[in-house]
Structure 1
Amino acid sequence: MSTVDAVQSLSQVLGAVADSLAVADSPAVALLHDEAVGAEISTRLRGPNSGAGDDNLCRWLYDTFQSNDPDLQLVVLKFMPTVAGVYLSRAVSRQPLAGFEAVLLALYAYETVTRGNEAESLTLPDLSNPSVYHEGKASPKKSAAELTVAVLSPVLEPYGTVRSTKRARIVGVALELYYNKISSMPASSKLAFCEFCLAWVWQGQKTCEGKEESGDGKEPEPAPARSYNVPFPWELFQPAIRIVGHCLLAPSSSEELKAVAYTAVERLYLRATHDMKPQEILAARSLLRLGKMPGDDIAEPTITANSEYSEEALKKTAQLA
Structure 2
Amino acid sequence: MSEIQTIPETIASNPDSSCLNSISKAQSAIQSLSPILGPLPPSLSSSDNPPFSLLHDPHLASAISSHLRQPNSGAGDNNLCRWLYDTFQSSDPNLQLVVLRFLPIIAGIYLSRAAFRKPLAGFEAVLLALYAHETTSRGGQSITVHIPDLSHSSLYHESKVPIKNNATGLNLAVISPSLEPLGTVRSTKRARIVGVALELYYSKISLMPIGSKIDFCEFCVIWAGQDGEMFNWGEAHEKEDSSKLSEQGNGDGEESVCSSEVVMGNRSVGEECEEKGGRIPLPWELLQPVLRVLGHCLMGPTESKELNGAAWAACRSLYARALHDVNPQAILATGSLLKLGKMAAESNGDSDPSEILDSKSLVITL
TM-score tier (shorter): 0.7 to 0.9
- Aligned pair 1:246/2:324, yes or no? no
Residue 129 of structure 2: aligned partner: 106
Deviation at 1:282, TM superposition (A): 0.8
- SS of 1:17 mapped into structure 2: coil
Q: Distance in 1 between matches of 2:108 and 2:145?
A: 29
Distance 1:209 1:104, change over 3 A: farther
Q: Distance in 2 between matches of 1:148 and 1:257?
A: 36
Deviation at 1:279, TM superposition (A): 1.2
Deviation at 1:227, TM superposition (A): 3.5
Map 1:23-102 → 2, pairs under 5 A = 23-102=46-125
Moved more, 93-102 or 267-276: 267-276
Deviation at 1:232, TM superposition (A): 1.1
Residue 296 of structure 1: aligned partner: 347
Hey, which bits of structure 1, 4+ residues long, moved more than 6 A? none
Residue 193 of structure 1: aligned partner: 216
- Aligned pair 1:283/2:306, yes or no? no
Residue 264 of structure 1: aligned partner: 314
Residue 159 of structure 1: aligned partner: 182
Residue 250 of structure 2: aligned partner: none
Deviation at 1:296, TM superposition (A): 3.4
Deviations 1:74-127 (A, max 9, x none): 000000000000101100100010000000000000000000000011001001
Q: CA RMSD in A?
A: 2.7
Q: Distance in 1 between matches of 2:331 and 2:70?
A: 34
Residue 282 of structure 2: aligned partner: 232
Deviation at 1:67, TM superposition (A): 0.4
CA contact (8 A) 1:123 1:150 kept: yes
Deviation at 1:173, TM superposition (A): 0.6
- SS of 2:347 mapped into structure 1: coil
Distance 1:224 1:42, change over 3 A: farther
CA contact (8 A) 1:123 1:149 kept: yes
Which one-letter code corresponds to 2:148 in the other structure?
Answer: P
Q: Distance in 1 between matches of 2:275 and 2:310?
A: 14
Q: Distance in 2 between matches of 1:195 and 1:253?
A: 18
Residue 306 of structure 1: aligned partner: none
- SS of 1:152 mapped into structure 2: strand
Deviation at 1:278, TM superposition (A): 1.3
Deviation at 1:131, TM superposition (A): 2.8
> Alignment length, in residue pairs?
289
TM-score by length of 2: 0.73
Residue 16 of structure 1: aligned partner: 39
Which one-letter code corresponds to 1:177 in the other structure?
Answer: L
TM-score by length of 1: 0.83
Residue 115 of structure 1: aligned partner: 138
- Aligned pair 1:255/2:305, yes or no? yes
Which one-letter code corresponds to 2:301 in the other structure?
Answer: P
Q: Distance in 1 between matches of 2:76 and 2:155?
A: 58
- SS of 1:54 mapped into structure 2: coil
Deviations 1:223-264 (A, max 9, x none): 999542211111111111111111010121411110111111
- SS of 1:2 mapped into structure 2: helix
Residue 174 of structure 1: aligned partner: 197
Q: Distance in 1 between matches of 2:265 and 2:114?
A: 23
CA contact (8 A) 1:51 1:87 kept: yes
- SS of 1:150 mapped into structure 2: strand
Distance 1:256 1:218, change over 3 A: farther
Distance 1:53 1:165, change over 3 A: same
CA contact (8 A) 1:11 1:18 kept: no
Over the matched positions of the two proteins, sequence identity in percent amounts to: 56
Distance 1:160 1:19, change over 3 A: farther
Distance 1:31 1:175, change over 3 A: same
CA contact (8 A) 2:312 2:338 kept: yes
CA contact (8 A) 2:224 2:280 kept: yes
- SS of 2:279 mapped into structure 1: coil
CA contact (8 A) 2:225 2:276 kept: no
Ranges in structure 2 where 5+ consecutive residues have no aligned partner: 1-23, 231-253, 350-366
